[in-house]
Structure 1
Amino acid sequence: MNHTEQRGVRKLLAVFAHPDDETFICGGTLAKYAGEGTEITLVSATRGEMGRRMGNPPYLNRETIAAARERELREACRILGVRELKFLDIRDKTVEFIDEELLAGRVETWIREIDPDVILTFHEQWGGHPDHCAIGKATTAACRRAGLEERLFFISFGDMMERPELFGYTRTDVVKIDVSAQLELKLAAFRAHRCQSEIDEWVWLPDREAVARFGKYEYFIKAGQTGQVRPGVQRSF
């Protein structure tokens, strides 16, 4: 009997850096698993208060943007089915300067409390933003400390993992999730992040046209892989 069967309800923990990371990168996957009954907890390191997008035309400023982005994130979570939202209350663009041991310890506390079946975060090398890489590194360390690295998966951007060998991985290192049935929910969550998405005209096209801009799959990298070559791509966590 596996871990999930013993307790009945699957749990997923996503640890990201900013409001909108959850939607823009893996909103379809979160909606898919929430719809199947998985209890999802999202941890956001910051409230995105240093973001450069202030609405279109701009209607926010440095004093008002954090509260606005938190409201938008809560609405996106409601749409995607995220059960609980937590913040680490770190200032945006400073995650990389937080003591690594302290940050990993804070994440480890959530991991041990929630005991998730799946943990999603950024890869410390492929995160693309210093905050992303730092929270990914801390979450990876936290998983190791908790002895749960086998439950850890790194997000990837777009369809970059259609060719995982370019990044030193094999196809069996990658989980490919079909989110074609969740694209309308993903679009609604994009629109919930209004101040960040208003500048992207395609998001506000008629639904059918906007949804067509999304890929039908989202990709995740299994942590701790050694690169054994075997045919096929995993389709679920």
Structure 2
Amino acid sequence: MNRTALAVLAHPDDAEFLCAGTLVRLKKEHGWTIHVATMTPGDCGSAEHGPEEIARIRRAEGRAAAETIGATYHCLEERDLRVIYTESALEKVTRLINAVAAQVVLTHSPDDYHLDHEQTSKIVRAATFAAPIPNFLHGRHLHPPIAHIPHLYYCDPLEGSDAFGRPIVPGFRVDISAVIGDKARMLECHESQRAWLRTHHGVDNLVDSMREWGAAQGAHAGVAFAEGFRQHLGHSYPRTNVLAELLGTV
């Protein structure tokens, strides 16, 4: 049976920064089909280009990054700073979950520094619950509803803290030491972000920042690099930890 993991993050380069190592391991070690989706095309992410041009560039970078590991990229075409829990956004994510028949879904932490991230987290949480419900789309299904609610995981928030700087401790960590090079190559595809992050975030090198964060998580677990996650365990969601079963935890 084909097994599929879907990462739905807010912007191009979010998945590459937060969970790409885990996606690579699922692909390489277990043959999973991988999909990476962004809520927006990153249309505000430039001081040089207008929104349509930078969106075109960043969609292409997202596709290129996914293709480096044999994954598929999707853009759900919301807009930066305007990701809001709406019926339209919820339907887009639900349709995508059903289209790819995802068994595992990864998204942002419910608490994060960026409201686009937090809203994406809420939308994805609702969509995983809605995806198996035949009546949700009132007969307007493009693909059959999936059979069961998928496993849902929240990535670490950026820098591991909420908007008040309070630490958010992962429930478990995945060792990505053996695939850190793959993760770096994916992130290197997002060339347009280097100048933007230097201007707006004060981050000079995106790949170095990713490595530093991965090394910090790895240090907590005695490995070179790791990614942290929390599993959604609310009523009716799967209780088994399929990532831990397949990839181990550190």
1:191 aligned to 2:188? yes
Measure, in 1, the Cα distance between the counterparts of 2:152 and 2:112: 15
The answer to whether residue 62 in structure 2 is matched with residue 73 in structure 1 is yes
Q: In terms of mean alpha carbon deviation, does 143-152 or 190-199 score higher? A: 143-152
Secondary structure of the residue that 2:19 maps to in structure 1?
helix
- Change beyond 3 A, Cα 1:24–1:49: same
- Which of 177, 180, 185 matches 1:180? 177
State how far apart, in whole Å, the 2-side matches of 1:217 and 1:158 are.
14
Post-superposition Cα deviations, 1:153-199, rounded to whole Å, max 9, x if no partner, equal 111136739xxx954x7x7xx23211101111111222211111354
Tell me: CA distance 1:145–1:211, structure 2 relative to 1, closer, same or farther (3 Å): closer
Distance (Å, rounded) in 1 between the aligned partners of 2:178 and 2:229: 18
| Residues 203/121 of structure 1: CA separation in 2 closer, same or farther (3 Å cut) | closer
Q: Is the 8 A contact 2:16 2:187 kept in 1?
A: yes
Q: Secondary structure at the match of 1:89?
A: coil
Query: Is residue 16 from structure 1 mapped to residue 9 from structure 2 by the alignment?
Result: yes
Taking only the aligned residue pairs, the percentage that are identical comes to 26
Tell me the CA shift for residue 102 of structure 1.
3.0
- Residue identity opposite 2:68 in structure 1: I
Asked if the contact 2:152/2:231 (under 8 Å) is kept, the reply is yes
For 1:64 and 1:188, locate their aligned partners in 2 and report how far apart those are by CA, in whole Å.
23
Q: How many residues align?
A: 205
Residue correspondence of structure 1 range 198-237 to structure 2 within 5 A: 198=195, 199=198, 200-202=203-205, 214-215=214-215, 216-224=225-233, 234=244, 236=247
8 Å contact from structure 1 (residues 46, 92) kept in 2: yes
| 1:140-155 equivalence runs, <5 A | 140-146=125-131, 148-149=148-149, 151-155=151-155
Q: Say if 1:182 and 1:112 are closer, same or farther in 2 by CA, change over 3 A.
A: same
Task: Report the alpha carbon displacement of residue 72 of structure 1 after superposing the two structures with TM.
Answer: 1.2
Which residue does 1:229 correspond to in 2?
Answer: none
| RMSD (Å) for aligned C-alpha atoms | 3.1
- CA gap 1:178/1:158 in 2 versus in 1, 3 angstroms: farther
**Equivalent in 99, 111, 128 of residue 126 of structure 1:** 111
User: CA, structure 1 residues 107+63, in 2 after alignment: closer, same or farther (shift >3 Å)?
Assistant: closer
Of the structure 1 ranges 33-42 and 12-21, higher mean CA displacement relative to structure 2 is found in 33-42
CA shift in 2, pair 1:192/1:111, >3 Å? same
Query: Which residue of the partner structure matches residue 117 of structure 1?
Result: 103
Whole-Å Cα distance in 2 between the matches of residues 153 and 182 of structure 1? Answer: 20
Which consecutive segments of 4 or more residues in structure 1 shift more than 6 A? Answer: none
The reply on whether 1:91 has 2:76 as its aligned counterpart is: no
Contact 1:42 1:86 in 2 (8 A): yes
| Distance in 2 between residues matched to 1:213 and 1:145, nearest whole Å | 33
Q: Which moved more, 1:174-183 or 1:212-221?
A: 212-221
TM-fit CA distance, 1:225: 5.4
Deviations along 1:197-223, one digit per CA (max 9) or x if unpaired, are 354544578xxxx95774200011100
Q: TM (normalized to structure 1)?
A: 0.74
CA distance in 1: counterparts of 2:63 and 2:52, whole angstroms:
19
TM-aligned CA distance change 1:140 to 1:129, over 3 Å:
same
Unaligned 5+ runs, structure 2: 133-147, 216-224, 236-242
Alignment gaps of 5+ in structure 1:
1-6, 227-232
CA contact (8 A) 2:174 2:226 kept: yes
